[in-house]
Homo-oligomer: A and B are copies of this chain.
Amino acid sequence: MSLLVVGSVAFDSVKTPFGEAEEVLGGSATYFSTAASYFTDVSLVAVVGEDFPEKHITFLKSRKIDTEGIERQKGKTFRWKGEYGFELNEARTLDTQLNVFQSFKPKLPEKYRNIKVVFLANIDPDLQRDVLRQVDSPDVVACDTMNFWIEGKKDSLLETLKLVDILLINDGEARELSGEPNLVKAAEIIKSYGPKTLIIKRGEYGALMFKDRKIFAAPAYPLEAVFDPTGAGDCFAGGFMGYLANTMNFEESNIRKAIIFGSVMASYNVESFSLDRIKSLDYRELESRYREFKGLTHFEDLS
């Protein structure tokens, strides 16, 4: 099944203790769609400026990502600049230039309207609902958000959440959105806003899924060399949603598998700058790391 994603396409400048990258391809929708492309067809809606090189479009197309929804506008492409310390857990944003992203009004090409699985990456919740109004009758809607919208546009965000089946956010965002420090209680509060399934991303600590009264805990893959965490959450979401869109099975047991595939994609992504590692993986590499997750978490039943 095809998967629709709306989000940012950007140029990132990133500094980590291990190196530096200048104006490399980034953005939530870019990471998401590349990760998802290993599992399913992806249709991308985003905006770029006149400075966005054709080679990046060519790359996305090479991943069989439909780029018809990438609008090219007068002006410059969204730019983000950030820096990580030795623990690599959180980026310090040094500069954000929204550029053409500031006036982004997502407009779906006609042929995208009947897509059944939708991912609304972290954009203004007003725009997230704009997108949903342009989709005929989606089976499953998932979304991401961030503290900026929780603090600045909570009412609009709550309106969006009423329309969302799966919410993917990090632990700090879950605490802030619910006003509750305990994650189990926070999850119940957030589920009462609409999403039946909540995935809480915890970076190097993995992810938690809350669905009905069930909880699933997935670790992150312990890597000897985390090079650049930029885009890890978006790759997680891409692997996760890509696997679900491919299987069209939204039962809890399949959501667990999707979380592991999301974790697999995130683990590969942080091994290098930009999309360098995930742009040319082999599906067998995904399966092999999936099996490593099995070995990482397995313990025997009680006899």
By a beta-carbon cutoff of 8 Å, the part of chain A in contact with chain B is 86-88, 181-185, 202, 205-206, 208, 214-219, 222-226, 253, 256-257, 259-260, 287, 290-291, 293-302
Which 8 A-B pairs rank lowest in CB-CB distance, beginning with the nearest?
Answer: A217-B219, A256-B299, A205-B205, A86-B181, A184-B224, A184-B222, A217-B296, A297-B297
Q: List 19 A-B contacts (CB under 8 A).
A: A88-B181, A182-B224, A184-B223, A184-B224, A185-B224, A206-B217, A208-B222, A215-B296, A216-B299, A217-B219, A219-B219, A256-B298, A256-B300, A257-B300, A259-B299, A260-B299, A290-B302, A293-B299, A294-B301
Copies of this chain held together in the complex: 2
A183's nearest neighbour on chain B, judged by CB, is B222
Distance between Cα atoms of A287 and B257 in the complex (Å):
26
- Which residues of B have CB within 8 Å of A257? 299-300
Interface of A is mostly: mixed
Whether the pair B219, A182 counts as a contact (CB closer than 8 A) is no
Which B residues are CB-close (under 8 A) to A219?
A: 206, 217, 219
